[in-house]
Structures are given as structure tokens and as C-alpha cells.
Chains A and B, each alone.
Chain A
């Protein structure tokens, strides 16, 4: 298993998905060697062997190169990259590939039945491992460069090229949603029959028992007591997430119904732009910015919300929506978010359709019946999604791909 991060050292959903997938696979009998680009302790991962490709501290990963930061990639050819340069993404990736090569050549591990590589970050290592072992390569796509670019441009062409090669070389591709599958078909020209959609899941038991602390967002709670409806989203503030449209939809909703507030939990490069936008639209007193949240503040940001909005322009899956369902929010999810393919008890809108979003916000805020129905239904619904089903699909895939197995 070739991955880039695991909790608690994760900056997003990729690490969470890799953790739960590996765990469920191990419970079904898979023996897993998991390669990471940094060195750290990961509690609760005893079910697999973790290999650190570098001695980098995970802090570096957040500081210098976020797991999703593909913008700085300037050199496609890894041969030309200086392996000693651990200040750049490409340098770390080169070290990662080399590490995987040595691992195989030194016979420190058995030849795997399958190589499972997650996203462009590890695709090159996956291709190299396939070359050396002849084991089948499964490329698991959690996000493509088009998703990361949002509605602005199409992203870094070098990363596209790496993705294209990885997708071409892969024996099978797993896409986390139909939306992602379509992107792989139409933007990368990969035949549809090579791609399987395996939606992510959620493990409610891993969310732990936790008591909501109404003091974390005391002001919002006081507004709720006065009859306000709290709308929230927990995300990175990047173009991909469609937050400018969310803020515009919120302003539009406030034209019709005043008792609405928006909690924007997270941080990112769009933060200043969003703050300016709320002022421009005259709703700055109704929008709350938390900055980056973890732990209690993070969980309470879900719990304080009556409505959770996933406003993404392009969201391959969107695990946070399932987390919000777990904490009891009603969900409004853009049609461009893959998680909407597995949930029915939600309201959907096109990310650009701010009027429709506003209508849905006002509708939920002004109708207790609608709000309760959405919360109750989705709470029942999300819990049926299980990582065990995801792992079962992957195991089935590995079995079919085993060397010598007949198609």
C-alpha cells in the first residue's frame, strides 16, 4: 500500500480513507506493508507494517508541502530531481520511489499480490514497483489535478502527465465516485471498463464517544437559543471548495430570512478573499471564521451546526459530509460532490446555483419538519456505509488480479 499520510498526521480525507481501508483489509486477512513519506508514530495501526521512506518529521509535511500541494511541482522527470533536496515535493517523491525500489530489491518484503497506490503522489512509486515485481498495480484515485484546481484553470500540467501515466499503467483503477470515474474517462481518456467505482465509507465507532461542548461556540449557541439557524462547513479554503458561491448563497438567503448564521471552519489561501466578500455583501456579522480547527473545536463545529453545506466545485467524495451526518446536521451537498451518490436523504444543488442554495437554506431554517426529516433520515442512512464493504470490493479486485488468475 503506497500512501502519503495517515492520521493523526493527515491534512485531509486521504489519510482518513487510507487508515480505514487498510484496517478493514487487514481484518479480512490482508497483510499490508504501508509506505509513508515521513517518519512518525501512528497509534492504532498495529494491524499493518508501516515503512517510513524518509526521516522527515511530519511537521515538514504540513509546513513545506501539504499533501495536496501540487502547484509547486516544476520537474516531471524524476531522474533530474536531486534526491537530497527534501525541501521540494519532487525531492521527497524521488526519495519515496527510491525507497520502494530498495525495499523490493533487498527482498525485505515478499513480492506483493497487489500494489495499491493512492493518488498522483505515489503513482510513480507504484509504476516502479510494478516494473520490478510484475505484481498488478491498482491506482486508487481520491482526487485528480482537475479537482484540486477547482473552477480556475485545470491545474499543473506536470501533475496531469504523472496522473496520465499512472492511470495508463495501472491494471485497475478505483475511483471514489462516479464523478471521479467520469473525469478519468473524459479528461484522461481511460477506457471506462478499467475503472471501478468504490465509494468511501465512515466508521462511526472511530468517531469515539464525545460530549458536545456548547461552550466552544458559545455565541453561536446563544443565537440558536434565539431561533437562529447555524449553517456550517468544515473544509480547506481553496477554490475547489466553492466557498465564494456558498457565501453568495448565504447572502441571498438572508434577503429572505434574517435568522441565519454561517460558520466557516478551516483555513486556506481564500480566507482573506472570503472575509472581504462577506463585507462586500453586507453579511460580515453573520459569517464566522474559526481558522484551522482540530480536536474539540473541529467536532464542535459539526455539532453546533443545524445545516452542513458541502459547496464543492469538484469533490471526488467528501468525507466531511458523512462526519456532519454523524453529528446530526441536515446536509446540503453540491451536485459536483461524489458523496451525494451514496446519500439520498440530502438536498442537492449545482455549486453555481446560489439561488437554489438560498432557497434550501431558508426552507430548512423556516420549516422544522423539513429540518428534522433531513437530520433523522441521513443519520439512519450514513451508518449503513461500511469500510468493510469497501475492503470486500478491494479484496475481490486483488483476487481477480492475482498473477495466474484467469480473468
Chain B
């Protein structure tokens, strides 16, 4: 069964590219959200395997969304993305409990798959 993915980013261009890129690699992009509130609603309704989560959102930040999702039962694997680098956020990425971090420019299906290795 293809892994289901929710893409959260306020830039429509990035969401579209991510959808094409992931679909091509066999992921099933089940939904998109453009802010923190939408992300939480969509994740809880769609229950995807993976949430590709942008750190800077118009109504909050990805770290808080990640923590909220991970507090739920049977949480998805959260992969944080940003056009910045992980080092720009210090230890916040680790502290948020997210599975991993991918710089947007480096986004690839292989990279994502590598982070998800060992998953269901």
C-alpha cells in the first residue's frame, strides 16, 4: 500500500511541486494544508502516514504543530521542511519530536524514504 502524505505549506508553488515529486515516487498525497490550523484538522481527519510540515506557517510554527500531532494517539511521522537550514533552528527540530528535517531545496523522494526507513 502506498504511503499517504499530507503536505503543509503556505506556498502553493511548493505544495504543487511536492505533490508531483512525491506522486512520481509512489507516495499517495492525500491532502494539502496551508496553515497550522488546517494542518491539524487535515491530519486528524485524513490520518496520513506522513506529514510534510513547513516550519514557518502564517498562523504559527511547524514545531508546535508537530508536538500537537505527536500528542495524538497513533501519530503520523512528521518531516519538517524549510527553505532555511536545520542549523538555523538550533535544537528546536530535535526537541519538536519530528522524525526528521529536509531542506526544501533538497527535497527528494529518496531523501524522504530514507528518513522513513524502518517505518511500517
Q: Are A and B interaction partners?
A: no
Give the interface of A toward B (CB within 8 A).
none
Give the interface of B toward A (CB within 8 A).
none
